[in-house]
Amino acid sequence: MSSTITDPASGLPGGLRSDLVLIPIAASAFGFVSGLLTSSRLAARQFLAENAHRLPTTVQGWYFYQKTKNYRVMYSGVLGGLKTGGRIGLWTATFVGLEEGIEAGVRRSLPDSAASYRTRWASGGLAGLGLATTAGQIYRLSRYAAPRRMFLGASLGIIAGGSHDLRDWMKTKLPVALD
């Protein structure tokens, strides 16, 4: 018997729940779009700043100026989108995996009579707190910002886990649709 928490309706190999895969993918897509827009806007301004002293004077010159600018903007946008999407996707996958690992540990330590307890909010809070602490160490944030960072990590983790608990509770209370 496997000790992983599975969703039989997910249909994913290895008994993975569908949200363990979909949440990081959605976060990566959001990060890609955000990074694409931010990096392309920055690249357009940088190109203008670098070439302001030698703006073209002919129609053909303006054509090649815009063409070169557009290629640089597209290249920088895609590169920035991949970096931002990868970074946000990795942090999100880490949070989801850490939350799932803590939840599995909590479920194993609880007696069988407590199987109906909603504990995802607690595992989400611990995962958020751990991730906020790790991010603070990696990015070398000031120690004065540590309490706020940890509060935000824990509270957003509690909200994320609480939304899972609320969803699971609503599944038990709402009527089942007939197929």
Q: Are residues 77 and 123 in the same domain?
A: no
Average pLDDT over residues 74-90: 97
Residue 5 is predicted with a pLDDT of 47
Mean pLDDT lowest among 6-15, 108-117, 127-136: 6-15
| Residue 176 predicted with pLDDT over 80 | no
Examine residue 147 and state whether it is found in any structural domain, yes or no: yes
Q: Are residues 81 and 133 in the same domain?
A: no
Average pLDDT over residues 71-86: 97
Q: Which residue, of 59, 94, 129, is where some domain finishes?
A: 94
- Domain hosting 82: range is 19-94
Unique residue bearing structure tokens 């935000």: 152
| Residue 178 predicted with pLDDT over 80 | no
Average pLDDT over residues 2-13: 50
Residue 99 is predicted with a pLDDT of 92
| Residue 177 predicted with pLDDT over 70 | no
Domain count, the chain: 2
pLDDT band at 2 (very low <50, low <70, confident <90, very high): very low
Separation CA 104–CA 90 (nearest Å)? 21
pLDDT band at 119 (very low <50, low <70, confident <90, very high): confident
Q: Are residues 24 and 86 in the same domain?
A: yes
Q: Are residues 86 and 43 in the same domain?
A: yes
Unique residue bearing structure tokens 């983790």: 157
What are 104's two structure tokens?
């599995």
Residue 145 is predicted with a pLDDT of 87
Q: Are residues 146 and 87 in the same domain?
A: no
Examine residue 86 and state whether it is found in any structural domain, yes or no: yes
Examine residue 165 and state whether it is found in any structural domain, yes or no: yes
> Is residue 37 within 8 Å of residue 1, measured between CB atoms?
no
Average pLDDT, the chain: 87
Separation CA 177–CA 17 (nearest Å)? 21
Examine residue 7 and state whether it is found in any structural domain, yes or no: no
Q: Are residues 70 and 135 in the same domain?
A: no
Residues whose CB is less than 8 angstroms from the CB of residue 69 and which lie 6 or more positions away in sequence, other chains included: 44, 47, 48
Q: Are residues 70 and 128 in the same domain?
A: no
